[in-house]
């Protein structure tokens, strides 16, 4: 009779031990909870432990941007430590440019111009949506961002989102914010910005 309660106690202890072993540790649970999951982009998951290029190549909405980055020779730069904030135009944004613009920019002899356009979409440092919103508020409704290309982009609040205005007055909206990368952050935008 005394063996039965002892056997039950041992089985209970073994079951509890197995449950505890299968549960994630508190440290890994805390780490997972402190880092929100990235949004999907172009039908693909984006991983915060991968760099800007490794994530961008998986987005079906950014094939034109990736081709342009390759043509400009900027792959190694955007795989580097950064950190960078990249405003990433979609394929539809490139398609909305005047006919022939993209084909012309992708020609080898246009590499300098292509590089200017692409680096106009990159700002040094990590500017997530909260930081941009704070800078816009601190600037009285507008934040001035100096791009890697050297010219200015203006950020403002519009329709509950963040709008970027280029030197020519074109306005792009951030459609997907805070896609965190190992070397910065990507914000998807709906227009190509022009220096």
- Residues in the chain, pLDDT under 70: 1-36
**In 158-181, which positions are buried (b, 16+ CB within 10 angstroms) versus exposed (e)?**
eeeebbbbbeeeeebebbbbbbbb
Residue for token pair 């440290």:
27
**Distance separating alpha carbons of residues 135 and 40, to the nearest angstrom:** 26
pLDDT digit string, tens, across residues 26-54: 443 343 344 567 887 887 888 889 989 98
| Residue 126 to residue 186: CA distance in whole angstroms | 9
**Whole-structure pTM value:** 0.80
- Is the backbone peptide bond immediately before 25 cis, with ω within 30 degrees of 0? no
Backbone angles phi, psi at 100, to 5 degrees: 90, -10
Separation of CA 49 from chain center: 12
């Amino acid at each position: 009779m005394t063996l039965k309660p002892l056997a039950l106690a041992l089985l209970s202890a073994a079951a509890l031990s197995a449950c505890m072993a299968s549960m994630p540790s508190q440290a890994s649970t805390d780490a997972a909870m402190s880092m929100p999951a990235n949004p999907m982009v172009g039908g693909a998951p984006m991983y915060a432990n991968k760099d800007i290029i490794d994530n961008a190549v998986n987005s079906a909405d950014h094939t034109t941007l990736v081709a342009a980055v390759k043509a400009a020779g900027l792959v190694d730069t955007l795989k580097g430590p950064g950190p960078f904030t990249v405003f990433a135009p979609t394929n539809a944004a490139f398609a909305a440019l005047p006919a022939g613009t993209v084909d012309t920019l992708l020609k080898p002899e246009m590499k300098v111009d292509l590089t200017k356009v692409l680096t106009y979409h990159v700002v040094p440092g990590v500017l997530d949506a909260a930081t941009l919103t704070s800078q816009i508020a601190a600037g009285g409704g507008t934040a001035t961002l100096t791009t890697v290309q050297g010219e200015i982009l203006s950020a403002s609040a519009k329709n509950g989102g963040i709008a970027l205005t280029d030197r020519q007055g074109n306005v792009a909206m951030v459609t997907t914010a805070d896609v965190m990368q190992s070397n910065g952050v990507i914000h998807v935008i709906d227009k190509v910005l022009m220096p």
